Amino acid sequence: MASQAQQPPQLHLAEITAAQFIDIWKHFDADGNGYIEGKELENFFRELEKARRGAGVDPSHAAFKEKMKEFMANFDKNADGRIEMSELAQILPTEENFLLCFRDFVGSSAQFMAAWRRYDTDRSGYIESNELKGFLSDLLMKANRNYDDKKLNEYTKTILRMFDLNGDGKLGLSEMARLLPVQENFLLKFQGIRLTVKEFDSLFTFYDKDGNGYIDEQELDALLKDLCDKNKMDVDSISLGDYKKSIMALSDGGKLYRTELEIVLCRDSSL
């Protein structure tokens, strides 16, 4: 059966499981770019309305357009005209909503980076499935959610299914960061300027003025300012300070080694 003819999964349910959430996400994020946008968004909203009202709806009708506008005003938190996963998690509350638990657990990108550093125990720049299980266990405990090992394994598999784009059983930083609240996800801001390894190497060497193999806070400050200017990114000093704080959360006692900064600024090998 062609995918267009398939009934979009579970939209009529008030409460859905994590696995159902992913089915819905994958169904509507047809090109797999991490957003429901353009035609996908119109399809999603049409099916949502149909599921709620139990009748067909006409997308060209003015009332439909008005309702969609209202819907976007409520859920498109960063007003970029598209829906991402952390925004959709509010539209479709998942069973034990662990996606939103995640946002309580790491309320800021600095906390996220510190958590990443804590759970990427082998410093590989990835969180493997066994590390992810520990991460989710702490997350659910902190959110006072009761769960058993079976449920924990299910959640671990679900998160991998969401973000592990190349199926290698581990998550890159930029993949995992898609769970962050939009305004906190500074990695999204840098997505357009992901550097190649060669570009990154010359950049790191240039800013590691004393050649000691790591970058300190002052050197990082200069690097970020220049990077933002060069790429015409309109970033105020407060945001820049936040970015710096987030990246420094990966550092080893104020020393930001090549591997840590590479995770943030280099093209993620799994994407």
Let me know whether 81 and 108 are in one domain: no
Query: In which band, very low, low, confident or very high, does the pLDDT at 269 lie, cut at 50, 70 and 90?
Result: very low
Compute the average pLDDT of residues 190-204.
80
pLDDT at 138: 80
Please give the DSSP secondary-structure letter assigned to residue 32: -
Q: What region, left, alpha or beta, does residue 146 occupy, with left being phi > 0 and alpha being psi -120 to 50 degrees?
A: beta
pLDDT at 111: 78
Q: Is it the case that residue 5 has pLDDT exceeding 60?
A: no
User: Within a domain: residue 48?
Assistant: yes
pLDDT in tens, 235-255: 777 777 888 888 888 888 889
Let me know whether 70 and 111 are in one domain: no
User: Within a domain: residue 124?
Assistant: yes
Domain boundary among 57, 91, 125: 91
- Mean per-residue pLDDT over the chain, rounded: 77
pLDDT at 206: 92
Angle between helices 18-28 and 98-105 (to 10 degrees): 90
Let me know whether 60 and 111 are in one domain: no
Domain boundary among 61, 91, 121: 91
User: Within a domain: residue 220?
Assistant: yes
Let me know whether 171 and 188 are in one domain: no
C-alpha–C-alpha distance, residues 249 and 87, integer Å: 25
pLDDT at 132: 87
Domain of residue 164 covers 95-176
pLDDT at 214: 92
Q: Is it the case that residue 7 has pLDDT exceeding 80?
A: no
Let me know whether 132 and 192 are in one domain: no
Pairing of strands 256-257, 126-128: unpaired
User: Within a domain: residue 144?
Assistant: yes
Domain boundary among 156, 176, 196: 176
| DSSP characters over 153-216 | HHHHHHHHHHH-TT-SSEEEHHHHGGGS-GGG-HHHHTGGGPBPHHHHHHHHHHH-TT-SSEE-
pLDDT cut 70: percent of the chain above it? 75
Amino acid at 46: R
User: Within a domain: residue 271?
Assistant: no
Let me know whether 100 and 163 are in one domain: yes
Let me know whether 72 and 114 are in one domain: no
User: What's the structural domain count of the chain?
Assistant: 3
Q: b/e map of 31-42 (b: 16 or more CB within 10 Å)?
A: eeebbbbeebbe
User: Within a domain: residue 8?
Assistant: no
Let me know whether 107 and 87 are in one domain: no
**CATH code: domain of residue 32:** 1.10.238.10
pLDDT at 112: 78
Q: Is it the case that residue 2 has pLDDT exceeding 50?
A: no
pLDDT in tens, 51-84: 776 666 777 788 888 888 888 888 887 788 888 8
What pTM did the predictor assign?
0.61
Let me know whether 40 and 83 are in one domain: yes
User: Within a domain: residue 7?
Assistant: no
pLDDT at 183: 58
Q: Is it the case that residue 126 has pLDDT exceeding 50?
A: yes
Let me know whether 140 and 113 are in one domain: yes
pLDDT in tens, 30-48: 877 778 998 898 888 888 7
Contact 200, 263 (CB under 8 A): no
User: Which one has a higher pLDDT value, 138 or 17?
Assistant: 138
User: Within a domain: residue 44?
Assistant: yes
Q: Is it the case that residue 4 has pLDDT exceeding 50?
A: no
C-alpha–C-alpha distance, residues 59 and 96, integer Å: 33
Query: In which band, very low, low, confident or very high, does the pLDDT at 1 lie, cut at 50, 70 and 90?
Result: very low
Let me know whether 82 and 144 are in one domain: no
Let me know whether 84 and 125 are in one domain: no
pLDDT at 205: 92
pLDDT in tens, 132-176: 888 888 877 776 777 788 888 888 887 787 777 677 888 887 777
